[in-house]
Chains A and B, each alone.
Chain A
Amino acid sequence: MEDLLNIFEIEKLLDKLEEKINFLKNLKDQGKLSNPQELDILEYKTNQIIQELKAKIHPFNRVQIARHPKRPVFQDLIENVFSDFVELKGDRYLGDDLAITGGVAKIEGYPVFVIGHNKGKTTNEKIKRNYGMPNPEGFYKAIRLMDVANNFRTPLITVVDTPGAYPGDTAEQRGQYIAIAKSIHKMFELDIPVICLILSEGGSGGALALAVANYVLMMENAYYSVISPEGAASILYRDSSKAALASRNLKLTSYDLLKMGVIDEIIFEPFMGMHRNLRQSYQDIKNKIIEYLIRGVEELKNPKKHRFERFRKMGIFKSLDSVMKNLVS
């Protein structure tokens, strides 16, 4: 059995502690706190608890946080990180897939194009948006808007948050695999800097279709994986309840991916997830995107070439060529 933390219990505990701290802070502000040390001790203890729990957090706990019902979605970023957003819809062909949203926007005054998986917030909206699982037309819309961004010579920000491409019969009939392949391909053709943020769920090919970027940033509690932990568990262990074990083995956390060079930087979150301090989280995301946007514009002499080289070097293997050479000489 995997040693999982119960994130909902921990949140309840954190809520209680925070409530108490706020209560004491209020008293202090009103000059009614008889023992000022009481507040310091409580804050110290709370911090200690957090540090202890942080060390114990299991990879699957991060998957749980990434899927937390209160976690912000791309729509929240459009409203709180970006401004002046105007949505551009449709693939000009099959339809308008609401699982992916794209358009023009600004970030701190800089004009950008944004494209991302959009899960939706209310139940109705989630159904309408298919829980952020695109059909082929979603990818074709993304591809089309990538071309538009390229023609406007405007940097592109992509946001990844999908359990995966939609595994449906009609999606297959219309060539889900071709749509994903074409989206990956398109991202290699762009002459603009592309920055990708893995916001929460980076589910396999459906995620990669928007993630072939010059810089890939990742939220601390997001996951990015070749297959969902449940999917891996049911294939490898014939038991989807072993998702926790699978997620540990898959090495899908931001820390793992940074070590392997798959991502460029982790954007840290408040303990137990960004929903616990939204304002701070939005500000941190905004700052990081701007930092990489400026870096992309100033440092990349050839964004397309840089992107190719970034992905060309992905792969871990050993080569017998050098061994053979040594034997010969």
Chain B
Amino acid sequence: MFDQWVKCEKCGSIVNKIDLEENLFVCPKCNHHFYINSKKRIELTFCSFQEKFNSIKPVDFLNFDDYSEKLLKDSQKLGIDDAVIVGLGYLLDDVEKKYLVGVGVMEFGFRGGSMGSVVGEKISLIAEECYNQELPLILFSSSGGARMQEGIISLMQMAKTVGSIDKLKKNRIPFINVVVNPTTGGVAASFVGIADIIIAEPGAIIGFAGQRVIEQTIKKKLPPNFQTSEFNLNNGLIDCVIERKRIPSFLYQLVSSFYYWKNKITVVN
């Protein structure tokens, strides 16, 4: 009986699981956006999706403690090889399948969504695919930052992904990033930070340094809304905060704008 009900992490309400699922895993009482895994996210956002570059697998090249075991454990639990799924798809509202987009969805459940070589490579590859095919790129970020177990090579993924996205920018191909709770550290400070449009779900944490580190450094308590989507919006750091159920249609509005004009406005030098 009990597993029919879940307690909202935020307001403490007891919510029926079926009601919660129907509400896209958003608390009907307090609008708290629950974690959903990357596969569910794809299902809720796209009407069709084809994964790409899934032959790329992580390697414990530093022989870092029990990294290999942790990788194995997470991949067995989630059925994925690393913290991002990339591919090509059509948005939910695009029933006619006219507007193909490049997609990347990060998985927070896998090593806290941390970015190592595989995440960096897959993001770069899908960005390059978008560049070659002139497709808009949509990424859903959710990450604690760079992956410690891959050392300095993880830090380098920040530069690599920004470099790949820069090619899109120079060729006027839009890149939209949807921030999912939480998006911090090296992921926030690389490709997320240079997106054309940054959309965030309500209440998501977006920032660079962790709150505990900041509190220890400045020796002060942080306000409760610190680093939330709303805090970011008011400080001019992100474009908009949009509820989960409205995100697919807004993405469709943006993508269709690009496709509508793409071949109508041509620049002749």
Contacts and interface: CB of A to CB of B under 8 A. Distances in A.
Contacts of A111: 253, 256-257, 260-261
Given A152-B258, A153-B172, A104 B236 contact: no
Given A89-B233, A95-B236, A153 B258 contact: yes
Interface residues of B, number: 30
Contact of A153 (B233, B262, B268): B262
A90 B174 contact: no
Nearest to A84: B253
Given A84-B253, A150-B172, A90 B239 contact: yes
A88 B239 CA distance: 4
A96 B235 contact: yes
Contacts of B265: 153, 155, 191-193, 297, 303
B237 A191 contact: no
Interface in B248-269: 250, 253-254, 256-258, 260-262, 264-265, 267-269
A92 interface: yes
Contacts of A110: 260
Contact of B240 (A86, A93, A297, A304): A86
Interface in B194-247: 196-197, 233-240
Given A155-B261, A301-B268, A90 B254 contact: no
Interface residues of A, number: 36
Given A111-B257, A152-B254, A302-B268, A89 B172 contact: no
A84 to B, nearest CB: 7
B7 interface: no
B173 interface: yes
B57 interface: no
A290 B55 CA distance: 49
A256 interface: no
Nearest to A96: B236
Nearest to B239: A88
A147 B196 CA distance: 8
Given A88-B239, A96-B234, A111-B256, A154 B261 contact: yes
A125 B143 CA distance: 37
A86 B193 CA distance: 20
B10 interface: no
Contacts of B256: 111
A97 B236 CA distance: 8
B268 A86 contact: no
Interface string A291-310: 00000010001111100000
Interface of B: 169, 172-175, 193, 196-197, 233-240, 250, 253-254, 256-258, 260-262, 264-265, 267-269
Of all A-B residue pairs in the complex, the 8 with the closest CB atoms, nearest first, are A90-B236, A111-B257, A96-B236, A95-B236, A88-B239, A301-B268, A148-B196, A154-B257
Given A86-B253, A104-B254, 7 more contacts: A87-B240, A89-B240, A111-B261, A152-B258, A153-B261, A154-B261, A302-B268
